[in-house]
Amino acid sequence: MNKADIQNVKLVAIDDDPTTLELIRDALKHQPLQVLTVGDPVAGLEVVFRERPQIVLLDLMMPKMGGMECLERIAEGAPETDVILLTADYSTDSAVMAIRKGASDYLTKPISVAVLRQRISRFVELAQQRETALRLEGELLKAHQFEGMVGRSPLMLAVFTRIRRVAPHFRTALVTGATGTGKELVAAALHRLSPGSENRFAVCNCSAVVETLFESELFGHVRGAFTGASQDKMGLFEYANGGTVFLDEIGDMPLETQSKLLRVLENGEIQRVGSPVPRKVSVRVIAATNRNLQELMAEKLFREDLYYRLSMVEIKLPRLSERKEDLPLLTRYFLETFSEQFGKPVRGLTPRADLLLTRYPWPGNVRELKSALGNACMMAENDVIDVRDLPEHLRSRTSQEASVDEEVLTLAEMERRHVVRVLESVGGNKARAAKILDINRATVYRIVEGRVPADGEPDAQ
């Protein structure tokens, strides 16, 4: 660990007992962190919000403001901070309440110097691991970007490989996938990697074009072809000659226009509306849809011959729920993007916000994630995004899923159930669960198995 890492780890101790503060200073003077002590809870909160420490030692019983109230304010204003409560009167009820209000640990007085050093060493190590993880995620992000897309999951790596192989050769391609999966990004990547990349990439959203104007939009028209045609107009295919035409939501294209599109694909010729003169065009055509074209064909709403012509090359995009291992990279990518866009230094997520994003099913896919993080970056008051910064529909879902029986559970059972839920949300990946929970894999195993550590045994560090 270098000197910068040591200087970046701070601990604030808030206690009205000078003897306790002196003990904390002496016990931790050789630890790799800066120790600040405050004897007044109100002044202590000011120090916490100014210094943004990674660790706070907080006495439960103090004049002016109780430890629980102080804890709530820290959890609200500095949610990334680990708060360790100190008390002379331990009880299971108060421990459970403290954990629910955001405490990370609970120590009893008189404080054992050995236990204090052990626990603080653990939190210092976790703080250092978070800093290291941020740096590594940045490096990982750079290594797993492809033509404006981000992913390291097997499904996305297969998509990237297919794009690389197809791009130099395709004349037509079909991109399928649910709304928000990134179909236009794939189309743009195919164009940029094609031989016609220096020419135009023209986009037509078929669901937004009035049916009577489809032919004019794609192929153009001559003056006087219909009411309102006051001058000649170039269509999309002429405009993109030598380049690529992207037909988004192709399933919404009328049947009559489909037949004319098929002739263009087969003959390489277009006719402007109102003109008998054929015009040669050379374009690559990429179609995209979130609809099932085979079902549309069965209903006679989509031409089979056009489908087979377009689907000579098909690229199918997975839902975000099918590539959850890409979520951390996508999150980092969008946080960096919006941080720069809004001029706000957003460093990452709190563990509880990270857990919420991991457990959410993302029906709107990557587009919904981008929107949620854009909103959070705009609303965030700190450099770390917490649950309260996320859109309301994400927060309300978490509240609805909270179990009512947790009120009567023991602290150990609450801990075990929480770890199990996190494990389930990440598909059993213990390394990922440990990162979200800020513990190591050995501790995950111990909690899930319900094994109690022996007296004096370190908490699996």
Residue with tokens 């550590």: 453
Residue with tokens 């513990």: 439
One domain, residues 168 and 282: yes
CA distances from 374 to 195, 269, 342, 378, 398 (A): 35, 44, 9, 6, 20
One domain, residues 103 and 220: no
For residue 454, being part of any structural domain is answered with: no
Q: What is the pLDDT of residues 10-69, one digit of tens each?
A: 999 999 999 999 999 999 988 888 999 999 999 999 999 988 899 999 998 888 888 888
User: What is the rounded CA–CA span in Å between residue 43 and residue 53?
Assistant: 14
SS3 340: helix
User: What is the rounded CA–CA span in Å between residue 213 and residue 30?
Assistant: 76
One domain, residues 311 and 339: no
CATH of the domain at 168: 3.40.50.300
Residue 214 pLDDT > 60: yes
User: What is the rounded CA–CA span in Å between residue 330 and residue 324?
Assistant: 10
One domain, residues 220 and 186: yes
One domain, residues 361 and 422: yes
Residue 454 pLDDT > 60: no
Q: Comparing 107-116, 135-144, 160-169, 179-188, which segment has the lowest mean pLDDT?
A: 135-144
Residue where a domain terminates, one of 317, 344, 375: 317
* pLDDT of amino acid 440: 73
CATH of the domain at 358: 1.10.8.60
For residue 29, being part of any structural domain is answered with: yes
One domain, residues 376 and 404: yes
For residue 397, being part of any structural domain is answered with: yes
For residue 147, being part of any structural domain is answered with: no
> What integer is the mean pLDDT of 74-86?
87
Residue 459 pLDDT > 50: no
Residue 269 CB contacts under 8 Å (≥ 6 apart), including other chains: 263, 278, 279, 280, 281
For residue 148, being part of any structural domain is answered with: no
User: What is the rounded CA–CA span in Å between residue 303 and residue 316?
Assistant: 20
* pLDDT of amino acid 233: 87
Phi and psi at residue 362, to the nearest 5° = 55, 65
For residue 39, being part of any structural domain is answered with: yes
Phi and psi at residue 41, to the nearest 5° = -65, -35
Order of strands across the sheet with 172-176? 201-205, 244-248, 284-289, 172-176, 314-316
One domain, residues 332 and 307: no
How high is the mean pLDDT of the chain? 86
**Is the separation of the CB atoms in 32 and 1 below 8 Å?**
yes
pLDDT band at residue 3 using 50, 70 and 90 as cut-offs: very low
Q: Of all residues in the chain, what percent carry a pLDDT higher than 90? A: 50
Residue where a domain terminates, one of 317, 352, 384: 317
One domain, residues 214 and 274: yes
- Ranked by mean pLDDT, the top range of 78-92, 196-210, 339-353 is 196-210
Number of compact structural domains in the chain:
3
Phi and psi at residue 238, to the nearest 5° = -65, -40
Q: What is the pLDDT of residues 274-284, one digit of tens each?
A: 888 889 999 99
One domain, residues 163 and 240: yes
User: What is the rounded CA–CA span in Å between residue 130 and residue 137?
Assistant: 10
One domain, residues 82 and 196: no
Residue 137 pLDDT > 80: no
Q: What is the pLDDT of residues 409-424, one digit of tens each?
A: 455 666 777 777 777 6
For residue 23, being part of any structural domain is answered with: yes
- The whole domain housing 12 covers 3-132
Q: Comparing 176-185, 350-359, 431-440, which segment has the lowest mean pLDDT?
A: 431-440
One domain, residues 436 and 390: yes
One domain, residues 159 and 290: yes
Residue 2 pLDDT > 50: no
* pLDDT of amino acid 166: 96
Q: What is the pLDDT of residues 146-163, one digit of tens each?
A: 999 999 999 999 999 999
For residue 461, being part of any structural domain is answered with: no
DSSP-derived letter for residue 267 is H
Alpha helix segments (H runs only) across 144-221: 154-166, 183-192, 214-219
User: What is the rounded CA–CA span in Å between residue 372 and residue 339?
Assistant: 14
Residue where a domain terminates, one of 259, 284, 317: 317
